[in-house]
Amino acid sequence: MFKWLVKFYENTLPEAEICIGHSSTNQFSRSLAINNAARKASGEVFVIVDADIICNPYVIRNAVNTLKHSTWIIPYTNIEDIYPISTKKLLTQTPKWPLPPNIKSTKRFKGSKNFVSFGGINILKRESFYSVEGFDERFIGWGGEDDAFRCAMNTICGDFIRIDQNVFHLWHPPAKARSNPNYNNNVNLALRYCNSSGDITAMQKLIKESKSFKISKNNY
Query: Containing H/E element for 205?
Result: helix 200-216
Residue 61 contacts residue 177 (beta carbons within 8 Å)? no
pLDDT at 216 over 80: no
CATH code, 99: 3.90.550
Q: Does the pLDDT at position 177 exceed 80? A: no
pLDDT band at 141 (very low <50, low <70, confident <90, very high): confident
The residue among 205, 3, 208 whose CA lies nearest residue 95 is 3
The rounded distance, in Å, linking the Cα atoms of 128 and 158 is 10
Domain of residue 135: give its range: 2-216
Percent share of the chain, pLDDT over 70:
93
DSSP per residue, 47-98: EEE-TTEEE-HHHHHHHHHHGGGSSEEE--SEEEEE-HHHHHHHTTS---SS
Predicted local distance difference test score (pLDDT) of residue 220: 34
Residue 16: other Cβ atoms inside 10 A: 17
**What pLDDT is attached to residue 72?**
97
What's this model's pTM, rounded to 2 decimal places?
0.91
Residue 112: the pLDDT is 56
Nearest to residue 190, comparing CAs of 120, 126, 140, 125? 140
Average of per-residue pLDDT values in the chain: 91
Longest dimension (CA), the chain: 51
31 DSSP assignment: H
To 10 degrees, what angle do helices 145-156 and 183-195 make?
A: 20
Q: Which one-letter amino acid corresponds to residue 24?
A: S
Domain count for the chain: 1
β-bridge partners, 169: 53, 81
pLDDT in tens, 28-74: 899 999 999 999 999 999 999 999 999 999 999 999 999 988 999 99
The pLDDT of residue 215 is above 60: no
Q: What is the mean pLDDT of residues 161-172?
A: 95
Q: If residue 39 lies in a helix (H) or strand (E), which one and from where to where?
A: helix 30-40
